[in-house]
Amino acid sequence: MQELADLWRAWPIAGPWHLAPLAGGTNSQVWRATLPDGTAYVLRLLSTQSLPRAQAEFALVRALADRGLPFQVPVPIPTRDGTDIVPLSGTDAPSHYAALLPLLPGEHPERADLAQTAGAAHGLAALDVAFAALPDDLAGEESAPAFGDLARWHPLVPDPVAAVAQLPISEKMIQRVQAILSRVLAAAPALHAALPQQLLHRDYDPSNILMMGERVTAVLDFEFVGRDLRVLDLAVALSWWPYPLMNTGQEWAVIDTFGAAYCRHFPLTEPELRALPAVLRLRDATSFTHRMGRYFAGQESEARMIARVEHTLWREEWLTTHTQRLLDLAVTWQATL
């Protein structure tokens, strides 16, 4: 903590600062750093292992900022030496680093607010238009693998189907989850061979965007940027936005609002839209595999892992029941272009 308290000296700002933990994602430690004049920043801590990906992420965010987006992205603030990242110790091989980012304006959206849902979809479409103009290799070799490439998503899970047997769940649940993962592994190569690909955010959920009213003011957390199926960003968003309303019947208004608004600004082909059920499964299986790896690494509790298993089974039941309704709705987004 003392080292963090003194770290402000690395940047061209007037300290000292007051540090308070921020609620972040599962992969970064973030602090709110407030200066004596009230100006606030985000201090993000990075491990040595995450450093190459973070460096590629920062280069990509800078390139996005140059595309004239209608919202802000977290471009790192250069240090006095002109670098983006500061080591947290004076040793030759520090174990942690820090980056300073702006604290961007706005609030997280309400998922049930259809006006905000449409605005969030417009924001994602604008982001994907900007991504499409960037070279695919800008994310770097350290970017996360394609969704569906399950064996590469966590070093502790080289065989995701076999790994499920190590989870603290019943044999019946093991078999059901293994069947889902096997289905995704079988379908992923054909999906990637048949559908358009480009750079994507791949984690566009309400906790990663900020809004004022119906307008997106900032998009956050570019840790999972990578080249993938173009329809995947829509699938990721559709897995998050209607989540609190699933199985109430009210989820369909949210799904239709987001999908139609997104496709008006970022047109998808009918084959891409018809692939949505398979891509939703691909997204969930990838997330599940990543979570298994965290569990085996001691970063997730047994209770949270069991809850994640139940979540995957619940999503599969919803998709099995509602695939045709989802497809009937999705093709209308393409038809109204």
pLDDT per residue over 184-241, tens digit each? 999 999 999 999 999 999 999 999 999 999 999 999 999 899 999 999 999 999 999 9
268 burial (CB, 10 Å; 0-12 / 13-18 / 19+) is buried
Does the pLDDT value for residue 306 go beyond 60?
A: yes
More confident residue, 53 or 129: 129
Q: So what's the pLDDT on residue 141?
A: 78
Peptide bond into 16 cis (omega under 30): yes
Q: So what's the pLDDT on residue 2?
A: 64
Instruction: Give the chain's domains with CATH numbers.
Output: 2-102 (3.30.200.20), 114-335 (3.90.1200.10)
Does the pLDDT value for residue 108 go beyond 50?
A: yes
**Whether pTM exceeds 0.75:** yes
Q: What is the mean pLDDT of residues 38-64?
A: 91
The H or E element spanning position 219 is strand 215-219
Q: Are 266 and 129 in contact (CB under 8 A)?
A: yes
Q: Which of 202, 209, 203 has its CA nearest to residue 228?
A: 202
Q: Which range among 53-57, 151-155, 231-235, 287-291 shows the weakest confidence by mean pLDDT?
A: 53-57
Q: What is the mean pLDDT of residues 268-285?
A: 97
Q: So what's the pLDDT on residue 194?
A: 97
